[in-house]
Structure 1
Amino acid sequence: MSVEYSGKGDPARSLALLWRTSEPTGRRKGKPELSVERIVRAAIEVADAEGLQALSMRRVAERLSVGTMSLYTYVPGKPELFDLMLDTVYGETARPADVPGGWRGRLEQIARENWALYLRHPWLLQVAANRPVLGPNLTAKYDHELSAVDGIGLTDVEMDSVITLITGFVHGTARGAVEAAQAESMTGLSDEQWWAAHAPFLSRIADPARFPTASRVGQAAGEALNSAYSPEHAFEFGLQRVLDGIEALVKQRTGG
């Protein structure tokens, strides 16, 4: 899976578009009305339907039924468009003011929102997150997520680290979920068909006497999950264990 990097465009132009401090207006006579929002939405639709590798200014123009050059009146190029796409989808996460369950409930809600975001837009998993898009939606998202653990006894650095831990965990499990969902279309075999094809050979080499623990645990997990791997189970089980670890830290800091 190829990796895309945000922030490759002109910083001044990207930030002006992200914060809408400068945006072309007007309409060319006889041409469909365009706007930054329409272009960004079309780009997101292309990435959702065809993958990030299919994204280009030309492909976006085709979706909008306009000439490619008309896009450049609104967006300087693909790097700036990519930043706009990222900040736009970051604005989709729900940010309720009141969530039951205290800080733990708030973090769980944040994890589920991020999980759903990756499943809606799998191309986000191809984005390197070490250079964040400094737009209004990402800033608001980060501020909301930090508020979930504000005032519970952690230092500012620990608050940031907790959010990084939660979002990093979600990123990893979401990748597994997306890969599992794409496996059938990419290989032409369902999980059941794949296992049926391999079962006769596995029965010859998977000797319980040689691999007793793997045989026992693999059989138990397969029967419980009805599969060798369940992304949903990995997410649910892992999330609670991550929250348990954060809870231990909070108790250590507060003496609780």
Structure 2
Amino acid sequence: MPRDVRPGAAGVDPEQLWLPPTEPRKGRRPSFSREQITVAAVALADAEGLEAVTIRRVAAAVGAGAMSLYSYAPDKETLLELMVDHVTGELTVTEPPSGDWRADLKTIAHLQRAHILRHPWLTSALSTRRVPGPNTLAFLEHALAVLRPTGLDGAAKMEVFAQLTAFVAGHVAHEIAQATAARSPGRAAAEARYLAAVAADGRHPELAEALSAPGRALTPEATFTRFLNRLVDGLDTD
């Protein structure tokens, strides 16, 4: 459990959130745990989206009063930190790096994509700075080990991992938005007609040429893989 944190605290204090308390907890044993609170919040977000996650609803899910949750998560920002790190535990990698850093980076990216698709709310949660918790640090440690053969210094390796993660999160956010739009009756047909008209107007020759090129596999997985290959294969480690 985090050290004593009160409502209205300015920002998230990583020492209070992630380091063990310096003094043993006083008073009676709590009837629920930080793990239970986090699991309940993740379940709400998975089912109804991030907007559904409030201290009051999470408290109701674990059978507690809202005020009693404040010593665990004083605000939604802290709760989000707990949620992100909790689900990052699903990304545990047991195999050591293969030595082929590009192949290993691509494996990491595919793991991240599948992970975000399981928890779509992550596209919003990852858009702001997060304080890495234990699960996040373990995954970061693996990614840095993957990049050791590149010879990059530590700061550059951190940048590469940040770039990869940003690409995956952004791509999957677009992928989810496209899937939502595709469920709208007539939307895809209307878009195709619009682009055909634009390509034929004579003012967009480059676009017309691009749209007339041979088609490629357009499944989400194939599209993601093509984009990922361009990104990782083009990384410069000099």
TM-score bracket, shorter-length normalisation: 0.7 to 0.9
- Measured in 2, the distance between the counterparts of 1:194 and 1:136 equals 43
Identity %: 35
Unaligned runs of 5+ in 2: 1-9
Alignment of 1:25-174 (within 5 A): 26-27=29-30, 33-72=31-70, 74-98=72-96, 102-127=100-125, 131-174=129-172
Match of 1:218 in 2: 211
- Measured in 2, the distance between the counterparts of 1:217 and 1:68 equals 55
Give the drift of 1:173. Answer: 0.9
Larger relative contact order (C-alpha < 8 A, sep ≥ 6)? Answer: 1
What does the per-residue CA deviation read over 1:38-76, in whole Å, with 9 as the maximum and x for residues that have no partner? 110010111122221221111112333443234335433
Distance 1:225 1:162, change over 3 A: same
Q: Give the TM-score normalised by structure 1.
A: 0.74
One-letter code aligned to 1:232: E
For the Cα contact (< 8 Å) 1:23–1:74, is it kept in 2? no
Distance 1:184 1:8, change over 3 A: farther
What RMSD in Å do the two structures reach over aligned CA positions?
A: 3.0
How many corresponding residue pairs?
Answer: 227
Structure 1 runs, 4 residues or longer, greater than 4 Å off: 19-25, 197-206
- Measured in 2, the distance between the counterparts of 1:133 and 1:48 equals 21
For the Cα contact (< 8 Å) 2:106–2:228, is it kept in 1? yes
Q: 1:9 aligns with which of 9, 12, 15?
A: 12
Q: Give the TM-score normalised by structure 2.
A: 0.79
Distance 1:77 1:233, change over 3 A: same
What does the per-residue CA deviation read over 1:17-50, in whole Å, with 9 as the maximum and x for residues that have no partner? xx577778735xxxxx421111100101111222
For the Cα contact (< 8 Å) 1:57–1:77, is it kept in 2? yes
- Measured in 1, the distance between the counterparts of 2:232 and 2:100 equals 12
- Measured in 2, the distance between the counterparts of 1:159 and 1:11 equals 23
Alignment of 1:167-246 (within 5 A): 167-184=165-182, 189-190=184-185, 193-197=186-190, 206-207=199-200, 209-220=202-213, 223-225=215-217, 231-246=220-235
Give the drift of 1:106. Answer: 0.9
